[in-house]
Amino acid sequence: MKRVLGHLALLSFAASMTLTALPVKADEHSDGHHEGTIDGESTPADRVQIHPMFNAAAVDAGMVKVAFHLYDKTLKQTLDAESVDITHAAKVHVIIYDASLQEYRHVHPSFQNGMWEVDVPLVQDGNYHLWTQGKVKADGGLWSTALEFTVVNGEAAHPQIENLPSVLSGVDGISQVTLSNETLVVADASTFTLSFSRLDGTFPELSPYLGALAHLLIVDSQGDQLVHAHPVEGYGDKMQVTAWFPHAGSYRLWVEFNDGDFHRIVPLSIIVN
């Protein structure tokens, strides 16, 4: 048996467009309704503030340079590359998705020009959620912090779905992921199994991606709750995942993994009772 510890996933993209920096107040982006969880551990949304260095009210679609400052209210200092620890192969993790939960990006910014920067392709109009997650080096404190922004002048926005239907199997290319039909519960550990296969009948070639067979990001239908979970055990083409869901309702679940030479992202949706 092989025990596999999960790590955060990464998508890398190239840069082409720079956004104009805007001044921000120290308390401008305190977040009051987003809440994040990493492997069952609640991460305070009010410790670290994200100050966007772009006009969040109207971002032109295309290859977007997402640039921001991070301010630690506990330490009363800006977080630079020396202030944060590496967690799961990166200093800071950025997760972006639109209100319809159709568009999804998971990227790692670098610290340069006095701010955190990462280039992200965003061609679809609509309202988006942007999360940052990481660990403060001084005391080991984890954080999750989020803001919302709007993309304009691109392709038509996806229609928003109020309640996602249950979709327990999905594909990317020929790679398929199926989630076991377990009963998922609120405010307690829910364990389920992911099974990997291929549409052509060949056996999937699952290989470590940042040290794990797969990585899961789970978002409620309103987009305000982010559950970041990792597999705890993997055996061949199956693995077990334990996640904690903050409330009843429907959730989008993105599964990231490697199959042979291809990095795959499979969207599923689940119902929590």
Closest CA to 37 of 112, 124, 136, 142: 142
pTM: predicted TM-score of the whole model, two decimal places: 0.85
To the nearest whole percent, how much of the chain has pLDDT over 70?
83
Q: What is the pLDDT of residues 130-157, one digit of tens each?
A: 999 999 999 999 999 999 999 999 999 9
Provide mean pLDDT across the span 2-22. 31
| Pairing verdict, β 225-229 and 35-38 | parallel
The answer to whether 218 touches 252, Cβ cutoff 8 Å, is yes
In this structure, the chain runs to a length of 273
CATH superfamily label, 169-272: Macroglobulin (MG2) domain (2.60.40.1930)
Q: What is the pLDDT of residues 84-109, one digit of tens each?
A: 999 888 899 999 999 999 999 999 99
Break the chain into its structural domains and give their ranges: 35-152, 169-272
Q: Do domains 35-152 and 169-272 have the same CATH topology?
A: yes
The answer to whether 63 touches 13, Cβ cutoff 8 Å, is yes
| Pairing verdict, β 115-122 and 62-72 | antiparallel
- The predicted pLDDT at position 160 comes to 87
Q: What is the pLDDT of residues 43-95, one digit of tens each?
A: 776 799 999 999 999 999 999 999 999 999 999 999 999 999 998 888 999 99
Top CATH class of 35-152 equals mainly beta
